[in-house]
Each structure stands twice: as C-alpha cells, then as structure tokens.
Chains A and B, each alone.
Chain A
Amino acid sequence: MRFRPGWQRGLIELRQSFTNPAELTSHFLWPVLMLIALFFLRHRDFGSTGLLLGALALPSILGMNAAMGMVSMSQLLTADRADGTLLRAKAIPNGMVCYLIGKLVSVAGGLLVDLAILLIPGLIIVDGIALGSAHWFTLVWVLLLGLVATLPIGAVLGSLLTTARSQGLIQLPMLALIAISGIFYPITALPGWLQFIGQLTPIYWMGLGMRSALLPSDAVTVELANSWRHLETAAVLGIWAVAGLLLAPAVLRRTARHESGSKLTDRREQALRRVT
C-alpha cells in the first residue's frame, strides 16, 4: 500500500516514453538499425563453426542492449537530481523508495519492449535459432534476473556521479566491460585475466544466458568449460541483484540528503548563466 505509488509512477513514465515523439524514436532507432544489419548478415557463416553469423549476433545484441539499461538508469538518475525531481520525492512521504521503484519499473519495462521490437522480427530474419518452450523459459528468467541485477547498480552509479559530463565518461568503461564480456567475441579467446574480470560482471552472465536460450546446443563449444553454466548464472546474477537492491536505496538516500531548495536554486542560476 505504502509503495503502490512507486509502481504507478513507473507505469505512467513508461506510457509517457511511448507517447512522446523524441523518446519513441529512440525506442525504435537502434532496434531497427540492428535489424537491418542482421538482415544483411543472415546468410554469412562464422568461421569454421558452421554457425550463422546472424544467429550468433542476435543474442549478443540483446545482451548488450540489456546491459546498456544500467547506463540509462544511471543517466536518468543524474538528470532527475539536477532538475529537482529527486528533491520533490524527498518532500513527500515514502517518496524516495517510490521514486526508485518507479524508475526500476519504467526502465525495465521500456527495455523489455525494446528487446521485443528487436527479437520478434530478428527471429524471422535469422535462421539457425530454435526457440522451444524451454528456451523461452531460460530467456525470460535470465532477462528478468539480469535486469534486477543491473538496474539497481545503475541507480547507484547515477547517485554517485553528479554531473552530465561524468555520465559521458561512464560509457567508456561500460563499453570496455561489454567488450570483454563474451557478448561480441567468445570469452575463451581472451587471456585468462580478462576472462576472470569478465566473469565478475553481470553483463557476461546475461550474455551467456541469452546465448544458451537462443543458440543451438553445439554452440556451447566456444564457452568456458563447454557449458552454459545455468546454476552459476543464477548465482552470480542473484548476488548482484541482492547487493544492488540493498545498496541502491541507501546510496540514493545519502545523495538526497544533500539536496535542498537552495542547492537547486544555485544550479538553476548556474544553468541560466551558462545560457546567457
């Protein structure tokens, strides 16, 4: 009851993001570009594996999009702090927790729609992907657990980074982590220490889970230990999820503690000075 406004907030924001032209464009732009690329790759083989490149790329693209949800979460938080949304949340009962719930719901919801926009036509374009009911089940649990594991971490990053400029910088390490996470290139081809770092991130396990759901079973030969490692996937993503959910409200509260009307006024005056 006390946290229901958070859920409603998420749904309202989700609806808004699909009813305003700018955000609607960004929902469709990347999936459509990716689909065009997949269309042209659809008959190309990948090395000697006998697998089609398009089939290998689809789960990777899904995994990357899901991982980037962390970045957008972080950016949204920084923006909401700058414009006073966070301060308003602080001024009302249960406002901070509901704000966080709302953001998780709207970002996760938007991401799932984006992934569907990509996945459904992708399955038609790309050959060599078999989706039985067991595969769907894997896809759904990996995605949901993966989002719960990554989005709160995004909220923590967004609380710690104060400016839009530092938000720009966070993209680089994120791309580096995605690069070593096995999403675009088999992790078995990387040196051992990079494999180790890659496996600490939730991104690797999300990508692995997606590949296990979407690729035929002989694709497992390019993975570590020749296994999809579902148990380990659930364990690592679970640990990240618990850590993020425990950490995010505390960090957000700490950030909000420093927000006040006069801080906001200062920022507004600075922004106006920059414009004039």
Chain B
Amino acid sequence: MRYGDTEVLHDVSFDAGAGEVIALLGPNGAGKSTTIEILEGFRLRSAGRVEVLGVDPAAGDERWRSRVGIVLQSWRDHGNWRVRELLHHLGSYYAPYATPWPADELLDAVGLAAQAKQKIRTLSGGQRRRLDVAIGIVGRPDILFLDEPTAGFDPEARYEFHELVRGLAVDQGTTILLTTHDLDEARKLAHRILVLAAGRIIASGTASQLIAAADVGSLEDAYLALVRQEHR
C-alpha cells in the first residue's frame, strides 16, 4: 500500500478464522487504520492479495457488504434521529440478506435501552460509541471491524463492551478485528495480538507468547521493547 512514493504498508500478512478475536496494536501512524480500511473495502490497496469472507474487498458486492460489520467512530451524523429509530431503520437494509437483530434486544445488549427514544444529538460520547457498536452488528455480521472502539469509555462501559465483544465471538462465531492503544484491552479480548510498526507486522501471538518472546514481565513491557527496537 502506498501514497504517492511513500509505502505505508509493506509486510502485513495474517489470516483470521471464524470466531477469532484479533487485536492490532501499534504506535500512531503505524498503518493500523489503513490496514482496517483496506479490509473494509473503504480503501484500495496498491499491491498484495486480500480476501475477506472469500472475496476481495475492493470487489465486494452488496451481499458481501451485508456480512461485514463496521463500527465507525461517529461524530455528529443523524443528530435528529432517535436512537431506536435509527437502529431499526439501519437494520432494515439487511433484511434481504439475513434476519437483522431486533432493535430493542440490541439496545439492551449495549446498555442503551433507557436512551431508546432520545435524540442522538443528546447522547454522551460513550453512549454514541455504544450506538456505533450496535449499528455495526445490527446485521449479524460474520466479521466485525472496530477501530479504537473504547476510546473515551469509562471503566464500567469498557467492561460491558468487553463482555459484548466476547459474547459475539463465542455465541455468534463472529470474527473480530480491532485496533486499540489499550494493552489491557488487547490482553483481555484478543486470541491473538499483532503488533504493527512502520507498516510492518513485527510480532504476532498471544499475550503470553509475546511476553515470553521478549523475556519481560508484562505485555506493556513486551510492546515497548518491540516498538523501541523498531525505532532504532
């Protein structure tokens, strides 16, 4: 993947199985968002081979799109819509392909039942984020992409969110790829951690494998050792 003459991703190879949770770690500018956007079909790559659910994301059709869940970092879109109204509406797009998640059930699951009739512009940052997650999974996707899902969450919301993600992977068999700066989150959620630095995957494995490989005491130490080594 390159922008003009600058190659931003050059050695990013991994695969993910059904129900697997993969965390993508790395410093800002390492290429995490670029990687995820290529997989989402939002960005075209300049070289290499990519398959998501057996299809090249650049050529994915609407049926493929219906199986891919994307959690966007929302800002202020749909401010006049009410929470339940938007979730129910967006669910209806999936009806020709699958049975969308009933809006009330899903609002319960993300802890927004009390806000169902509120206008979206009146939600707090954390509540909006949970609505983003609900929108991402309303079509019962087979694969879910989350770009820094818990940025700005308080500890309780974060805990509930982790429970939700775990439930999706275990109960629904959803494959999940998330980027995060929160090492604790990666350790708790991910079956496998990928560390991306300067457009290259420099380490891959479970938290304990990464710790053992770096011969240190914690995931934080292992991560810092890996990233500093890359800087040198």
Binding site for B on A (CB under 8 A): 1-2, 4-5, 8-9, 12, 16, 20, 80, 83-85, 87-88, 90-95, 98, 259-262, 264-265, 267-268
Interface centre among B34, B65, B66, B93 (most CB of A within 10 A): B93
Q: CA A264 – CA B37 in complex, angstroms? A: 12
- Asked if A80 and B77 make an inter-chain contact with CB atoms under 8 angstroms apart, the answer reads yes
Q: Are A259 and B93 in contact (CB under 8 A)?
A: no
Most buried by B among A9, A259, A261: A261
Secondary structure type dominating chain A contacts: helix
When distances are taken between beta carbons in the complex, the residues of chain A under 8 Å from B159 are: none
Chain A residue with the shortest CB-CB distance to B79 = A83
How many Å from the CB of A273 to the closest CB on chain B? 14
Our pick among A1, A8, A92, A268 for the contact of B75 (Cβ within 8 Å) is: A268
Q: Which residue of B lies closest to A22 (CB)?
A: B80
Q: Apart from A1-B96, A80-B77, A93-B93, what are 17 other A-B pairs with CB-CB below 8 Å? A: A1-B95, A12-B89, A83-B75, A83-B76, A87-B72, A88-B74, A88-B90, A91-B65, A93-B66, A93-B94, A93-B139, A98-B93, A260-B37, A261-B36, A262-B34, A265-B73, A268-B75
Contact A261 to B42, CB < 8 A, known contacts A16-B81, A84-B72, A91-B72? yes
CB neighbours (8 Å) of B81 from chain A are 12, 16
Within 8 A of A (CB), among B45-100: 62-63, 65-66, 70, 72-78, 80-81, 85, 89-90, 92-97
A259→B42 contact, CB < 8 A = yes
CB distance from B122 to the nearest CB of A (A): 13
Set of chain B residues within 8 Å of A80, measured between Cβ atoms: 77
Within 8 A of A (CB), among B108-164: 135, 139, 147
Q: How many residues of B contact A (CB 8 A)?
A: 33
Of the A-B pairs whose beta carbons lie under 8 Å apart in the complex, a sample of 12, sorted by A's number, is A1-B96, A5-B92, A83-B75, A87-B72, A87-B77, A93-B93, A94-B93, A98-B93, A261-B73, A261-B147, A264-B72, A264-B73
Residues of chain B contacted by A8 (CB below 8 angstroms): 89, 92
A-chain residues with CB within 8 Å of residue B96 when the two chains form the complex: 1-2, 93
B33 on the A face (CB < 8 A) = yes
B174 to chain A, nearest CB (A): 16
Q: Give the shortest distance, in Å, between B155 (CB) and chain A (any CB).
A: 24
Q: Using CB atoms, name the residue of chain A closest to B76.
A: A83
Contact status B33-A261, CB under 8 Å: yes
- Asked if B10 CB lies within 8 Å of chain A CBs, one says no
Closest 10 CB pairs of A and B: A93-B66, A85-B77, A93-B62, A84-B77, A91-B70, A260-B42, A93-B65, A83-B77, A262-B33, A5-B92
In the complex, the answer to whether B37 meets A84 with C-beta atoms within 8 Å is no
Residues of chain A contacted by B93 (CB below 8 angstroms): 5, 92-95, 98
Q: Which residues of the other chain, B, contact A259 by a CB distance below 8 angstroms?
A: 42
Quick check: is B2 within 8 A (CB to CB) of the other chain? no
* B94 adjacent to A261 (CB under 8 Å): no
- B64 CB to closest chain A CB (Å) equals 9
Query: How far does the alpha carbon of A213 sit from the alpha carbon of B94 in the complex, in Å?
Result: 44
Partner among B40, B80, B92 whose Cβ is within 8 Å of the Cβ of A16: B80
Within the complex, what minimum Cβ distance (angstroms) separates A17 from chain B?
8
B191 partner residues in chain A, CB cutoff 8 A: none
Instruction: Tell me, rounded to whole Å, the shortest Cβ–Cβ distance linking A23 to chain B.
Output: 9
Q: In the assembly, what is the distance between CA of A5 and CA of B66, in Å?
A: 14
Per the bound structure, the CA–CA distance linking A260 and B34 in Å amounts to 10
Asked if A93 and B92 sit within 8 Å, CB to CB, the answer is no
Residues of A contacting B33 with CB < 8 Å? 261-262
Q: Which residue of chain B has its CB nearest to the CB of A2?
A: B96
| Cα-based distance from A16 to B81 in the complex (angstroms) | 8
CB distance from B199 to the nearest CB of A (A): 15
